[in-house]
Copies of this chain bind each other. A is one copy, B any other.
Amino acid sequence: MVSTRPPSGLRDFFGSEAQLRHELMTTIARVYQSFGFLPLETPAFENLDVLMGSGGGAENEKLIFKILKRGDKLKSALESSPTEQSIADFGLRFDMTVPLSRVVAEYRGQIQLPFKAFHMGPVWRAERAQKGRFREFIQCDVDIVGAKSSRAETDVIQAVCEVLRVLHVEGFELRLNDRRLLSAIGSSLGLNPDEFESFAILLDKRDKMEPQDLLDEMKALLGARMNDLVARLLKDEVNLESLKSLAPDVVEEVSGLLTTLQSLTLPLSGVYFDASLVRGLGYYTGSVFELRHSSAGYSFGGGGRYDGLIGRFSKEAIPAVGFSIGFERLFLLYKEQKQASLMTQREGLCVTVMDEAYRGQLLSLSSQWRAQNLAVSVYPDMAKLKNQLKWASDQGYRWVVIAGSQEFEQNKIQLKDLSSGQEILVSPESLKDHLVS
């Protein structure tokens, strides 16, 4: 018999957990829309050459799930010493930013700038599956294309923070840096491009390495160029002011953005400058930011300015900034918070059918109740009342409708509260008024 487990690193969701995921997705989309972002929908897979060489996405490019060519093309590829390159033509997207950039380039004539879009859905990475790391996971991106100034950063950050406010999740902080400051530090140290990359990758590992190991590796990399600034960088002791001499304009811009963000009473425990924040080396050209939570050592999302990416697909260089919420991690937090209420109760009511002669009437009443915005599940088979009540209880329903000839003769129904066991006889029209806590 065929194995029914999903492929390694992939997951199935059903029941109350799936319901909660659906709610969270809906909430995020609603908040993004409330900021005037419109949806963007792109295919699950792209031509491989769109995904490859997207510039520094090198890490992700290794993780592309590739799709086999089909028909004659596959046949001829298999006949002449096939390679990984010759037998595949498409790849599943590994993020939302590359497809967005392709879309802006392709439909440039139909898109008015600034273009505000949100882009939510699964992405796929062929990583070795491990605890908390999946091969299919959802990202919830919000982007502004065609805005040069940090007003765009403010807009996407405010939108993401509004999601946190609406969810009542607390304890998040935002860390902020600018790629141009990192470059200025690199220049001041006299690093060549390769050395700069190693320098940035090492900085990016700051949270994952022992301080002494980090210091040793940095010394090995920089040799005589190791200085006090780098030492303080490794200890998160570099404030924005101290970089003023290296890049005065950038410092002023970052400072302005920080001031704006701090004035907005965002639902965060803090907004901080972090001179050692790196994030995806390939894309970002200006601001970079990251959402962290006091309870976890990892990021819940991040983003920044990628003024160079669209230019890879188009003759026109168009500035862009985006913020991506890592749905899976936020979901874990949201689920934890909701768990108590989740397990005990389900919204709406369950309608039992003890006499099939009255199913038609119960179906009609159910339609009327749904028109009052109640979720109504009619038991969808024939079964003993006892079994129907057990099902309703197992599903988490508190309210159950029971009605047969005795009730219908009086134009009434029984409303049973499974939490107390109490039953009351009510008119169908007044049912909603009785669903009290």
Contacts and interface: CB of A to CB of B under 8 A. Distances in A.
Interface string A15-41: 110110110001001000111111111
Contact of A70 (B126, B151, B382): B126
A260 B4 contact: no
A243 interface: no
Nearest to A78: B82
B41 A13 contact: yes
Contact of A44 (B44, B144, B264, B391): B44
A314 interface: yes
Candidate in A42, A107, A122, A350 with the most chain B CB atoms within 10 angstroms? A42
A2 B370 CA distance: 51
Nearest to A101: B4
A68 B41 contact: no
Contacts of A50: 2-4
Interface residues of A, number: 109
A19 B50 CA distance: 25
Given A68-B65, A70-B126, A43 B106 contact: no
B34 A376 contact: yes
A36 B6 contact: no
A107 B395 contact: no
A314 B3 CA distance: 9
Contacts of A92: 44, 67
A357 B219 CA distance: 46
A3 B43 CA distance: 15
A66 interface: yes
A215 interface: no
Contacts of A43: 6-7, 10-12, 136
Nearest to A369: B34
A394 interface: yes
Interface string A55-97: 0000000000111101000100010001110011110100000
Main secondary structure of the interface of A (DSSP, over half): mixed
B7 A375 contact: no
Give the interface centre of A92, A367, A376 by most chain B CB atoms within 10 Å: A367
A149 B36 contact: no
Contacts of A152: 380-381
A37 B359 CA distance: 19
B381 A151 contact: yes
Contacts of A136: 43-44
A416 interface: no
Given A5-B106, A43-B7, A103-B12, A376 B35 contact: yes
A260 B117 CA distance: 46
Given A1-B315, A151-B378, A152-B380, 11 more contacts: A1-B313, A4-B50, A18-B38, A22-B39, A36-B377, A44-B122, A68-B68, A78-B84, A112-B395, A114-B379, A148-B381
Interface of A: 1-7, 10-16, 18-19, 21-22, 26, 29, 33-47, 49-50, 65-68, 70, 74, 78, 82-84, 87-90, 92, 99, 102-103, 105-107, 110-112, 114, 116-117, 122, 124, 126, 136, 144, 146-149, 151-152, 154-155, 158, 162, 260, 263-265, 312-315, 348, 350, 353, 359-360, 363-364, 367, 370, 373-382, 391, 394-395
30 contacts: A1-B313, A1-B314, A2-B313, A3-B50, A5-B106, A7-B47, A7-B89, A7-B90, A10-B45, A12-B43, A13-B41, A16-B38, A26-B29, A34-B373, A35-B376, A35-B377, A36-B348, A44-B44, A65-B68, A65-B70, A67-B92, A68-B88, A82-B82, A114-B379, A114-B380, A147-B381, A148-B381, A152-B381, A155-B378, A158-B363
